[in-house]
Amino acid sequence: KMKADLDDVILQKGMGNVDSDVQFDGFLSKASDVAAPFFTAANSTREITMAGIHERDMFLSLSSAAVQAMAGVFVESWDDALVIKALDGLYNASQICLYFKLYDQFNEILSLLLGYAHDYVTSVTALLLSESLNDSDFSTEDFPPISKYFLAKLKSGQFKNPVVHFGPEDVVGSAAHRGLMSLDCALMLCKSNLSAINESW
């Protein structure tokens, strides 16, 4: 098909009877001019360099928009796995802030997380109170259980446990209890980085 199309182009350009085989071979000969690919060997030593002022400036230029985007996904999404990934992103951003000693930005992330936690605790308290007074059609039984992912994380005492792998069924309930996950993340950051906290929330 490609060869036939090339013959049509040659005739339309008024090139007359040109040997199409020669023309087509010349057209494909440019493929041999491509440089050979280079791959890094799997066992090669990779030099690890520390992030510097350029990386800090780049992070500063992107951090505000990135944090707001991740926070929006964390609050609005009802996809359990996506909620976990958004919270991971906020946690990673806080760690970068600590590395670069950007304590104002760190406290902004912490304030977001504690705000979500406050809303969650307030809502659960109101729900339990209304249920005890029997003045609500909504019951705590309508809530999905806390995810196995979060319970395993609490047991490990770490925010991330790369050794443990979870399936889709293990994260069910994460979106419904995102405020609880946010509270856990915020308290863990507070516990580990008290000197970076600017004020009492």
Give the tens place of pLDDT for each residue, 168-191: 788 888 999 999 999 999 999 999
Count CA atoms within 13 Å of residue 130 on its CB side.
12
Is the confidence at residue 118, as pLDDT, over 80?
yes
Average pLDDT of the chain is 78
Q: 139 in the Ramachandran plot: left (φ > 0), alpha (ψ -120 to 50) or beta?
A: beta
Residue % of the chain over a pLDDT of 70: 63
What is the amino acid identity at position 166? F
DSSP string, 140-183: GGGSPPPPHHHHHHHHHTSS--TT----GGGGTTTTTTHHHHHH
pLDDT, tens only, 21-68: 555 556 566 556 666 666 666 665 566 667 788 899 999 999 999 999
Given a cut of 50, whether residue 112 has pLDDT beyond it is: yes
Q: Would you tell me how many other CB atoms lie within 10 Å of the CB of residue 101?
A: 10
d(CA 102, CA 87): 19
